[in-house]
Structure 1
Amino acid sequence: MAGGRAPEIKNKKAFYDYDILERYEAGIELKGTEVKSLREGKANLRDSFVRIENGEAFLFNAYIAPYTHGNLFNHEPTRKRRLLLHKREIKRLAGKVAEKGLTIVPLRIYFNERGKAKVEIALVKGRKKYDKREAIKRRELEREAQKAMKFYR
Structure 2
Amino acid sequence: MAKKPDNPNYKVIAENRRARFDYAIESDLEVGIILEGSEVKSLRQGQSNIAESYAEVKEGELWLVNSYIAPYVQAKTFGHEEKRRRKMLVSRKELSKLWNATQREGMTLVPIVMYFNHKGLVKLKIGIAKGKKAQDKRETSAKRDWNRQKARLLKQNG
Taking structure 1 as the reference length, the TM-score comes to 0.94
2:23 to 4, 18, 26: 18
Question: Is 1:47 the counterpart of 2:40 in the alignment?
Answer: no
Partner of 2:101: 96
Which ranges in structure 1 are unaligned for 5 or more consecutive residues?
Answer: none
Which ranges in structure 2 are unaligned for 5 or more consecutive residues?
Answer: 1-7
Partner of 2:75: 70
Shift of 1:5: 6.2
1:82 to 48, 68, 87: 87
Partner of 2:151: 146
Runs of 4+ with deviation above 6 angstroms = none
1:132 to 126, 133, 137: 137
Shift of 1:6: 4.1
Taking structure 2 as the reference length, the TM-score comes to 0.91
Shift of 1:62: 0.5
State the alpha-carbon separation in 2 of the partners of residues 101 and 110 from structure 1: 27
Q: How many residue pairs get matched? A: 151
Identity %: 37
Shift of 1:47: 1.4
Shift of 1:4: 7.3
Shift of 1:7: 4.0
- Deviations 1:85-105, CA, capped at 9 Å, x for gaps: 000101011011113330001
